[in-house]
A and B are shown apart, each in its own frame.
Chain A
Amino acid sequence: MTDMTQTIESAQTAAGTATVGTAAAGTATTAGARAHARAQHGRTTDTMMYVPAAAAPECLTAGLPEAAAASLTWAESLAFGRYTHLELARGTRIRLTDTDGDACVHAVLFRAGASFERINVADTVKVPWQAYLGQGHPLLSDAGRLMATLVADSSGRHDALTGTTNLAGNQAKYGAGSAHSASPAGRELLTLGALKHGISQREVPPSISFFKGTTVDADGGIRFTGSAGSGSAVELLLHMDAVLVLANSAHPLDPRPGFTGTAVDIVAWQAPQDLEALAAGGLGFTPGPEHLLALQNTEHDFTARTSA
Chain B
Amino acid sequence: MNTSTFSIQPDAATAALVPGHVVLDEYVEARGPWSAVVEAGDVLTIVDLEGNQAVDCLLYADGDTAARYSAAATIAAQGSIFLTTGSVLRSDSGEPLMTVVADEVGVHDTIGGACSQESNTLRYGQHTHEQHACVENFLIEGSKWGLGKPDIVSNINWFMNVPVDPDGALGIVDGLSAPGKRVALRAEADTLVLVSNCPQINNPCNGFNPTPVRMIVTRPEASR
Partner of A161, one of B81, B107, B150: B81
Rounded to whole Å, the gap between the CB of A180 and the closest CB of chain B is 17
19 intermolecular pairs with C-beta atoms under 8 Å apart:
A116-B150, A125-B111, A126-B171, A130-B170, A131-B168, A142-B118, A144-B116, A144-B118, A144-B119, A145-B118, A161-B111, A202-B150, A206-B71, A219-B82, A220-B107, A252-B73, A253-B76, A290-B122, A293-B121
- Number of B interface residues in the complex (CB < 8 A): 48
Asked if A290 and B123 sit within 8 Å, CB to CB, the answer is yes
Interface, chain B (partner A; CB < 8 A)? 66, 70-73, 75-76, 79-82, 92-95, 107, 111-114, 116-123, 125-126, 135, 149-155, 162-164, 166-172
Asked if B72 and A252 sit within 8 Å, CB to CB, the answer is yes
Q: Which residues from B are CB-within-8-Å of A216? A: 81, 164
Contact with B along A186-218 (1 / 0, CB 8 A): 010000000000001111011100000001101
Residue of A nearest to B164 (CB): A216
Partner of B76, one of A126, A143, A162, A220: A162
The answer, yes or no, to whether A248 is at the interface (CB within 8 Å) is no
Rounded to whole Å, the gap between the CB of B165 and the closest CB of chain A is 8
Give complex CA distance A116, B118 in Å. 14
Give complex CA distance A99, B70 in Å. 31
A122 and B114 in contact (CB under 8 A), knowing A144-B122, A205-B153? yes
Residue of A nearest to B155 (CB): A122
A203 and B150 in contact (CB under 8 A), knowing A122-B114, A123-B113, A253-B76? yes
Give complex CA distance A123, B118 in Å. 10
B-contacting 9-mer, from A51-59, A163-171, A256-264:
A163-171
Give complex CA distance A222, B163 in Å. 12
Partner of A144, one of B92, B121, B152: B121
Asked if B94 and A166 sit within 8 Å, CB to CB, the answer is yes
Contact count band on A = 35 or more
Q: Which residues from B are CB-within-8-Å of A297? A: 118, 121-122
Q: Which residues from B are CB-within-8-Å of A65? A: none
Asked if A293 and B122 sit within 8 Å, CB to CB, the answer is yes
Q: Which residues from B are CB-within-8-Å of A202? A: 66, 150-151
Asked if A221 and B80 sit within 8 Å, CB to CB, the answer is yes
A122 and B113 in contact (CB under 8 A), knowing A206-B72, A220-B80, A220-B81? yes
A129 and B72 in contact (CB under 8 A), knowing A122-B114, A123-B113, A290-B122? no
Q: Which residues from A are CB-within-8-Å of B76? A: 162-163, 169, 222, 252-253
Asked if A127 and B154 sit within 8 Å, CB to CB, the answer is no
Rounded to whole Å, the gap between the CB of B183 and the closest CB of chain A is 16
